[in-house]
Amino acid sequence: MSHSSHAASMPAGAAAHGHEHHTSLGIPNHKLATWLFIASESMFFAALITTYMVFRYRSVVGPHPDEVVNIPLTTVSTFILLMSSLTMALGVSAAQRGESKAVGRFLLFTILGGIGFLVIQFYEWWHLAHHYGLTWNTNIFGSIFYILTGFHKAHVIFGMIWLAVLAVSAFRGTLRREHAVHVDVAGLYWHFVDVVWIVIFTVVFLLTEAGV
């Protein structure tokens, strides 16, 4: 998952010339693959969100979604995640300018944002379990709520590990301008996780609170 995995799996033909410039579409293999991965992940989350939409009010016993969503708290965590996307974008931009130390700083902010998001989210889980007795075994809403937000959290955690590896290189000063694409690719992943949250926030929280 580090930046050098790029070199490791670089196409043989391109490797002969030392760079990826000679791809047929003129875009790096890595970035193309990442976008395909993101497109594929869209289907993954769509299937989970569909499950949520179909099941949300089918539970025989409560608590039901409208009884438990916590808009203020979730709004704060959403905001934190959105801002971590901003720092991520600034980090990529710094990487493209070759400012290694700045990259490290922005990545650190991004990771901190991720941590903030997770702390609030896990607190919310704890709160739901302890105050409403909602676990993933309680009812169908509980099952899909924890699985959907859980898979999202897993993505956040994975992204943080990835960014951490990059941040270490950045602070060491070894993340030079020609490696910007590695930061770029990690950033795409991070933004995607953010975008998924934008959808989850609307579907699971806002629409529920709005009574739709």
Partner 1 sequence: MATTTLERSFWQALPKPRARTGFWSWVTTVDHKRIGILYFWTALAFFLIGGVEALLIRLQLARPEQDLVAPDLFNQLFTMHATTMIFLAIMPLTAAFFNYFIPLLVGARDVAFPKLNALSYWMFLAGGIFLNSSWVLGGPSDAGWFGYPNYSLSEFNPGLGVDFWIIGLLLAGIGTLVSGFNFIVTILNMRAPGMSLMRMPMFAWATLVTSFLIVFSFPVITVALLLLLFDRVFGTVFFDVFSGADLTLYHHLFWVFGHPEVYIIVLPAMGIVSEVLPVFSRKPLFGYSVMVFSTMLIGFVGFGVWSHHLFTVGMGPVVNTIFSLATMIIAVPTGIKMFNWIGTLFGGRLRFTAAMLYSLGFLALFLIGGLTGVMLSAAPSNTQIHHTYFVVGHFHYVMIGGALFSLMSALHYWGPKMFGRMLDERLGKVAFWTLFVGFNLTFFPMNILGVMGMPRRIYTYSAGMGWDGLNATSTLGALIMAVSILITLYNLVTSLRNGERAPADPWDGRTLEWAIPSPAPEYNFARLPNVSSRDELWVRKHPQLAEGAAVAASAESDGPAEPIAMPGGSYMPLLVSLGLFIAGYGLLYSMPVFVGGIVLSLLGLIGWGFEGDNMRIIQPGGEQ
Partner 2 sequence: MGERAMDRAHAGHAHAGTREYLKVGVMLFVLTVVEVAVIYLEALRPVLAPVLVGLSAWKFLLVASVFMHLKYDSRVYSGFFAVGVVLAILIALAVTAILA
Site residues for partner 1 per CB under 8 A: 1-13, 15-16, 23-25, 27, 29, 32-33, 36-37, 39-41, 43-44, 46-48, 50-51, 54-55, 58-61, 136-137, 139-140, 142-144, 146-147, 165, 169, 172, 174-176, 179, 182
Residue 60: which of partner 2, partner 1, none does it interact with, CB under 5 to 8 A by kind?
Answer: partner 1
For 55-78, give one letter per residue: b (16+ CB within 10 A) or e: ebeebeebbbbeebbbeeebeebb
Distance CA 195, CA 164 (A): 21
The 10 Å Cβ neighbour count of residue 166 is 26
Distance CA 38, CA 44 (A): 10
User: In the complex with partner 2, which residue's Cβ is closer, 158 or 172?
Assistant: 158
Closest approach of partner 2 to the CB of residue 118, in Å: 18
Closest approach of partner 2 to the CB of residue 201, in Å: 7
Q: Enumerate the H helices of 56-139 as residue ranges.
A: 65-68, 71-97, 100-131
Look at the chain and count its residues.
Answer: 212
The DSSP 8-state label assigned to residue 179 in this structure reads: G
DSSP E strands, the chain: none
Residue 78: which of partner 1, partner 2, none does it interact with, CB under 5 to 8 A by kind?
Answer: partner 2
Report which of 44, 65, 21, 2 is spatially closest to residue 212, judged by C-alpha positions: 65
User: In the complex with partner 2, which residue's Cβ is closer, 78 or 169?
Assistant: 78
Per CB under 8 A, residues contacting partner 2 are 24-27, 31-32, 35-36, 38-40, 42-43, 45-47, 49-50, 53-54, 71, 75, 78-79, 82-83, 85-86, 88-90, 93, 96, 187-188, 191-192, 194-195, 198-199, 201-202, 206-207, 209-212
